[in-house]
Each structure stands twice: as C-alpha cells, then as structure tokens.
C-alpha cells in the first residue's frame, strides 16, 4: 500500500497559495510528519491525502487503501457513552461480537494508558484522556491509512511521549501513519517530514 503525491498544490483564493510542488511517496513502516507554521495548510493537506478534497494542481493516488481514519485535533465523542462504548463500536461494526470487541478494546485502551476508565462517560474525561480515546478508537477501526491532526496538543510531555511511541509502533503494523504537528517531540519521532512551509 502507498500514497503518491506528485506536484501537489492547493489554495482557496487566487493569489493566496497554501503550498505548491509537493512530492512524496508514503508507505507503511514510517510515520510521516506534516509540519509548517500555523495557517500553512497542514490540516488541508491531510484532507487531500484522505481524498476528501481534490488538489488545485498535481495528483494524489492511493494504492491498496480501502479504509481511511482521521483523528481530529479536538476530540469529539458522545457525552454519555462510556469509554469502552467508543472503542468497541468500530470493532462491532466490523463484525466482532460485543465480548470480542470489549476484549480487543481493553487491549487498545491499555495501549493508550486508559485502563480503569472503561466505564467512565466521555463527558467525565480530561482533554488529554479524550484525545487518547479518539486515537484508540481510530486504531480500532483498523485503517490502512491513519491521519492524525496534532495528537499531542493537549497532552503533558510524559503522556505525549507515550502516544508518540504508540504511533511509531502503529506504522510498523501494516498501515500508513501521517501526523500534522507543531510539536518538536512528535516531529523527532517521525521517520520523514513533509515541510509545507517551504512549499508555498
């Protein structure tokens, strides 16, 4: 599986180009960091890679990718649903029984340091806990392409380091991981950087 970007450029208004001439080959086994100043178009590039928007110029081709998952910067969940509900739902939707989904969900929650919160409602979580839950739910969906927008923005340094380590592991499990980030710690974890600030 891979994603190929050739000469990609995008803008919303003539004369206000976000970036131009982006070339990249994205494959599994590497975390790709999208970097650049605020307003440079990092989230826009994630949308283009996902295929939700079409670039103004250039081409993006996705090969052997049928399932794409996006984890947004601001975590959105169902206020009165439990933590386990959130992570089990994608597994049940894929055909798992409730028991199977809860077993696998518990493993994912442990991976993101959320063990013990299975019965907590989403509205009871801290911002950092909610962000890690959305990451766990994104992984539960088992995408070939995982797009993550500022995953450590609401996390302390220690917790951020743990999330970065898991993202690095995920790239070696048969999926492409692309992370938009300002965080230098997250950038240092990435195997390759796409600097859109130098492509405008």
Task: Give CA–CA dist 34/51, Å, rounded.
Answer: 16
Residue 127 has pLDDT above 90, yes or no: no
> Would you state the pLDDT for residue 90?
94
Please determine, for residue 103, whether its predicted confidence score (pLDDT) is greater than 90.
Answer: yes
> CA dist 50 to 43, 70, 114, Å?
11, 8, 28
The pTM for the full model equals: 0.91
The Cα angle at residue 124 between residues 109 and 100, in degrees rounded to 5: 30
- What does the pLDDT average to over 133-150? 94
Range in 104-113, 148-157, 171-180 with the lowest mean pLDDT? 148-157
Give the separation between CA 53 and CA 27, rounded to whole angstroms. Answer: 21
Reference 46, options 80, 28, 22, 30; nearest CA is 22
> What per-residue confidence (pLDDT) applies to 156?
86
**26 neighbors 196 (Cβ within 8 angstroms):** no
pLDDT tens track for 154-198: 788 888 888 898 888 888 888 999 999 999 999 999 999 999 987
Q: What is the pLDDT of residue 197?
A: 81
Query: Is residue 199's pLDDT more than 70?
Result: no
**In a 3-state reduction of DSSP, which class is residue 109?**
helix
pLDDT tens by residue, 2-33: 999 999 999 988 778 999 999 999 999 899 99
| 86 touches 137 (CB < 8 A) | yes
Query: H-type helices in the chain, by residue range?
Result: 42-50, 83-93, 98-111, 127-140, 157-171, 184-189
Query: What are the tens digits of pLDDT across the range 114-123?
Result: 999 999 999 9
pLDDT digits (tens, 9 = 90+) for 50-92: 999 999 999 999 999 999 999 988 888 999 999 999 999 999 9
């Amino acid at each position: 599986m891979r994603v190929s970007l050739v000469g990609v450029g995008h803008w919303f208004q003539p004369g206000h180009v976000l970036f131009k001439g982006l070339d990249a080959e994205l494959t599994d086994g590497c975390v790709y960091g999208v970097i650049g100043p605020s307003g440079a178009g990092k989230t826009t590039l994630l949308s283009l890679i996902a295929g939700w928007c079409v670039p103004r110029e250039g081409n993006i081709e996705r090969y052997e990718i049928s399932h794409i998952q996006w984890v947004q910067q601001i975590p959105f969940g169902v206020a009165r649903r439990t933590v386990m509900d959130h992570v089990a739902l994608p597994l049940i939707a894929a055909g798992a029984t409730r028991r199977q989904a809860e077993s696998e969900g518990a493993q994912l929650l442990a991976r993101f340091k959320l063990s013990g919160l299975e019965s907590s409602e989403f509205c009871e979580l801290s911002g950092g806990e909610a962000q890690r839950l959305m990451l766990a739910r994104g992984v539960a969906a088992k995408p070939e392409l995982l797009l993550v927008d500022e995953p450590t923005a609401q996390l302390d340094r220690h917790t951020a380091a743990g999330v970065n380590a898991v993202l690095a592991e995920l790239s070696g499990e048969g999926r492409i991981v692309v992370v938009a980030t300002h965080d230098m710690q997250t950038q240092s974890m990435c195997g390759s950087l796409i600097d859109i600030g130098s492509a405008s």
